């Protein structure tokens, strides 16, 4: 198999050999990243689980930090340890300012509540924990985008090499004229297909490893976010505003003196003036009757026109006098 790959590589042109060598380098980088991520995630899982077991055995959130051996056993490189250290440093600064000593925290009894911190101090502690959490999540997801890039680019690069090699082989057929010998064309096609094999060799294991690593990163992300919420809840339960005892209120009876109710106010209205009586309306006089209309006189009939005598001349109109011209 190796001899076949070497022979196919020897038949590639400069572009084909460059693509194959680039894919080989990409494969080496992908396998190095996968090995490093698997090792780092395994170490993070082991250290986080050990840290959470130690943290759960303490009665106060700051007790684990006050133990010197614990600070050596759980360095800040551990994600949960770094989140814990960032929050506890802020918390101890506020507790020391409030007069709380370290020995009191070391001997803290379970269920006891301490001095209540104002909301601004609790916000500072929460911001420190969430800021450290963000940095650790970014560290967990480092190089994952590079693996995703290898998964998508490698097949495309191999396909490009194959298309280029086949194009070169066909151009050799054209230059060879009508006498086409398969032994002269097959090596070029084999070299072209080698780039596709190299691209698949890079993309297939990289895609499988990327999906597996993404699932592992999600599990670690959930574990660290859960621990951050639990740590902040423990701090609020011990030093939150609701944890402080309520001040005792005197139970002396309170006498409330009430003033006598004022008399009901009755508004006084001015009397309404009486209107003058309305005089009766005079009766309407009767309408006079109209005189009867007399019948019109009959229209006289016109006398009949006698016909003109036959042959009688028709009278003509007299000529009109000319109108004088205006000078």
pLDDT band (50, 70, 90) for residue 176: low
Question: What is the average pLDDT across 240-256?
Answer: 53
Report if residue 93 sits inside a domain: yes
Report if residue 270 sits inside a domain: no
C-alpha–C-alpha distance, residues 219 and 213, integer Å: 10
Report if residue 205 sits inside a domain: yes
- Count CB atoms within 10 A of the CB of residue 47: 18
C-alpha–C-alpha distance, residues 157 and 196, integer Å: 8
Report if residue 323 sits inside a domain: no
Averaged confidence pLDDT in the chain:
77
Q: What is the DSSP string of 215-236?
A: HHHHHHHHHHHHHHHHHHHHHH
Residue range(s) defining the domain that contains residue 211: 8-243
- Count CB atoms within 10 A of the CB of residue 136: 23
Report if residue 273 sits inside a domain: no
Report if residue 189 sits inside a domain: yes
Q: What angle do CA 262, 266, 271 make, to 5 degrees?
A: 160
| Per-residue model confidence as pLDDT tens digits over 267-287 | 565 666 676 666 665 666 666
Extract the tokens encoding 33.
């990243």
Over 70: is that where the pLDDT of 120 sits? yes
Residue 268 buriedness (CB in 10 A; 0-12 / 13-18 / 19+): exposed
- Total structural domains within the chain: 1
pLDDT band (50, 70, 90) for residue 246: very low
Over 70: is that where the pLDDT of 263 sits? no
Report if residue 265 sits inside a domain: no
């Amino acid at each position: 198999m190796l001899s076949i790959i070497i022979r196919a590589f020897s038949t590639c042109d400069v572009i084909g050999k460059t693509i194959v060598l680039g894919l080989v380098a990409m494969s080496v980088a992908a396998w190095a990243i996968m090995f490093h991520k698997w090792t780092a995630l395994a170490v993070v899982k082991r250290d986080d689980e050990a840290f959470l077991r130690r943290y759960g055995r303490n009665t106060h959130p700051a007790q684990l930090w006050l133990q010197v051996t614990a600070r050596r056993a759980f360095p800040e490189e551990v994600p949960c340890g770094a989140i814990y250290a960032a929050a506890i440093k802020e918390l101890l600064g506020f507790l020391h300012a409030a007069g709380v000593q370290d020995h009191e925290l070391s001997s803290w009894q379970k269920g006891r509540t301490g001095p209540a911190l104002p909301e601004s101090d609790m916000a500072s502690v929460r911001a420190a924990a969430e800021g450290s959490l963000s940095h650790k999540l970014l560290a967990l997801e480092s190089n994952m985008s590079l693996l995703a890039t290898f998964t998508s680019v490698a097949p495309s690069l191999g396909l490009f090499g194959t298309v280029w090699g086949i194009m070169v082989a066909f151009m050799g057929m054209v230059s060879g004229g009508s006498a086409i010998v398969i032994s002269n064309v097959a090596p070029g096609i084999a070299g072209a297909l080698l780039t596709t094999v190299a691209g698949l060799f890079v993309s297939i294991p990289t895609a499988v490893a990327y999906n597996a690593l993404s699932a592992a990163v999600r599990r670690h992300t959930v574990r660290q976010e859960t621990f951050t919420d639990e740590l902040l809840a423990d701090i609020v339960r011990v030093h939150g505003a609701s944890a402080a005892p309520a001040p005792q209120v005197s139970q002396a009876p309170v006498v409330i003196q009430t003033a006598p109710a004022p008399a009901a106010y009755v508004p006084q209205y001015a009397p309404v003036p009486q209107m003058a009586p309305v005089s009766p309306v005079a009766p309407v006089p009767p309408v006079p009757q109209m005189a009867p209309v007399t019948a019109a006189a009959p229209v006289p009939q016109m006398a009949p026109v006698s016909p003109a005598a036959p042959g009688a001349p028709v009278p003509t109109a007299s000529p009109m006098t000319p109108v004088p011209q205006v000078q």
